[in-house]
Amino acid sequence: MSHSVQAAPPVAVPSRITRSLPQRLLARPEVGALVAAVLIFVFFLAMAPAFRSAESFFTVLYQSSTIGIVAVGVGMLMIGGEFDLSAGVITTSAGLVNSMFCWYFGINLWVGALLSLVFCLFVGFVNGYLVMKTGIPSFLITLGTFFVLQGANLGLTKLVTGSVSSTDISQIDGFGSLNKIFASSFKVGPVTVWITVIWWALFVALAAWILQRTRIGNWFFAVGGAPDSARAVGVPVVKTKIGLFMTVSFLGWFVGMHTLYRFNTLQAGNGVGNEFLYIIAAVVGGTLLTGGFGNAIGVAIGAFIFGMTSLGIVYAGWDPNWFRAFLGVMLLLAVLVNLYIKRMSTARKVG
């Protein structure tokens, strides 16, 4: 009996040590995106001389941040097993509610910004509530919300202003302070740094901490990977998923505020199609479409790849129409890589 007890550890321990090192790397959701980002970065350094300057790099960061902020929320929602196809158009809805309400009634823009925030959170709540209470897939629920918001953006803007764009709000009280929060920039030597880059980094850090270090983060993975099991062990599945939808809407509001206070006016048709860019950033960053797997760092890398590519093609002097083709290829490759990494992760846990 003592012989069998002593013989077991030497067999098990070396197996775990030799398998864990490479598999831990492969099991990280962001590894595939990081490798792709490095390759794309080196490629554009070689092909586009204009890409090599510090100014160009921070322009790429700015471009990435405008997608990356909302993509953080979309990534967490996808980890939770759901989609939000209204995430793109709600950014425009947020800005239009703020600008048109304050312009029409002649009140401080801070009031409109808070009203816009309440509106966006309400939309997120409705999306989550309908998904959880009806059992209809989030793809269909949020597709319906997408069309409602898109039509309302165009119809109400034309009704209030007589055109499909909002009026200039730069002379309304509160513009200066809101511009500093959402759309300011500062110089670091010759480089212009937009504040959205700072906000993006903060949102990514907060999301990464929540996902990896908190019980709520564990709930996100649980409701995405096995909602029935999560419910059985006491996870508040309904509240968690509604909270994720509201998070996406909050971040959509934030980007809407940036767009409004940077350009002073908005086109009512803007934002359509951006929901796919958010999803692509999340998937390229290692988030599985089936839920329960991913992290915030990977989503940020996915958004950075978007920024590099969209501007790198321009800097290289190529036809920008190729950008969409590149996104499609990246999405297909990312799905295949993510499935492989998920299998490696599962093998590590079994081993």
Q: What are phi and psi of 83, to 5 degrees?
A: -125, 155
Residue 345 has a pLDDT of 59
Whole-number Å distance between alpha carbons of 92 and 97? 9
Residue 26 has a pLDDT of 59
Using an 8 Å Cβ cutoff, are 61 and 118 in contact?
A: no
Residue 145 has a pLDDT of 97
Residue 320 has a pLDDT of 79
Between the alpha carbon of residue 335 and those of residues 111, 112, 230, 242, 326, the distances in Å are 43, 41, 26, 26, 14
Residue 346 has a pLDDT of 57
DSSP 267: B
User: How many alpha carbons fall within 13 Å on the CB side of residue 294?
Assistant: 38
Residue 85 has a pLDDT of 96
User: How many alpha carbons fall within 13 Å on the CB side of residue 152?
Assistant: 16
What residue ranges of the chain have pLDDT lower than 50? 1-19, 21
Using an 8 Å Cβ cutoff, are 219 and 75 in contact?
A: no
Residue 327 has a pLDDT of 74
Residue 293 has a pLDDT of 85
Residue 14 has a pLDDT of 40
Residue 168 has a pLDDT of 92
Q: 0.85 cut: is pTM over it?
A: yes
Residue 188's beta-bridge partner residues? 191
Residue 58 has a pLDDT of 93
